[in-house]
């Protein structure tokens, strides 16, 4: 079975890959391949691919390795969804899952804190509104009392001239009564 994959070349810590069509059973560094269809330099991101030859070999039934498939999708040679190439050991996967769970728990705690804070803010706002209502009603009561006091004063003022007139009349009557005696 044929496979389109990378063939590593280059020096130590300076990889350079040839994209080749080779037998699936051949070792990756053997150098035995059917056809060279391009190259990829990950350090400079330089890439050259013979699109028509890739499509030709694909029609013939050659499978594409995951990393090469991702490169072809990125360059627009084939369409599809990228494949997750990185594989993790069992320990690493467990660690990552534990970290995810911790982060989810932290998020939930933050959400609950936010909701608690929002509830507290709402409660304080309601209390403030009630206090404002009470203070308004107290203010209104005080205003009503003042108005009543003012009305009472005005009524006294109105009564006061009448009383004065009455007193004056009484004094006149008393004076007239006293005069005949003298």
pLDDT digits (tens, 9 = 90+) for 103-148: 888 888 887 877 777 777 778 878 777 777 766 666 677 777 788 8
pLDDT of 174 reads 64
Question: Where are any strands of DSSP class E within the chain?
Answer: 2-11, 14-23, 35-41, 46-49, 63-64
Residues (pLDDT < 50) of the chain are 182
- What is the pTM (predicted TM-score) of this model? 0.49
The span from the CA of 65 to the CA of 85, in Å, is 10
Which pLDDT belongs to residue 72?
92
pLDDT at 135: 67
- 20 neighbors 7 (Cβ within 8 angstroms): yes
pLDDT at residue 182, rounded to an integer: 45
Q: What are phi and psi of 53, to 5 degrees?
A: -70, -35
């Amino acid at each position: 079975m044929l496979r389109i994959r990378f063939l590593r070349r280059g020096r130590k810590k300076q990889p350079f890959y040839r994209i080749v069509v080779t037998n699936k059973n051949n070792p990756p560094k053997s150098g035995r391949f059917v056809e060279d269809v391009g190259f990829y330099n990950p350090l400079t991101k330089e890439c050259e691919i013979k699109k028509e030859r890739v499509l030709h070999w694909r029609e013939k039934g050659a499978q594409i390795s995951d990393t090469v498939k991702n490169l072809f999708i990125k360059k627009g040679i084939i369409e599809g969804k990228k494949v997750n190439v990185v594989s993790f050991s069992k320990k690493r996967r467990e660690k990552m899952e534990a970290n995810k769970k911790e982060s989810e728990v932290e998020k939930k705690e933050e959400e609950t804190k936010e909701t608690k804070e929002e509830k507290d803010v709402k409660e304080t706002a309601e209390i403030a509104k009630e206090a404002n209502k009470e203070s308004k009603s107290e203010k209104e009561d005080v205003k009503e009392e003042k108005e009543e006091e003012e009305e009472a004063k005005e009524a006294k003022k109105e009564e006061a001239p009448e009383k004065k007139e009455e007193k004056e009349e009484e004094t006149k009557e008393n004076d007239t009564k006293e005069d005949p005696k003298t």
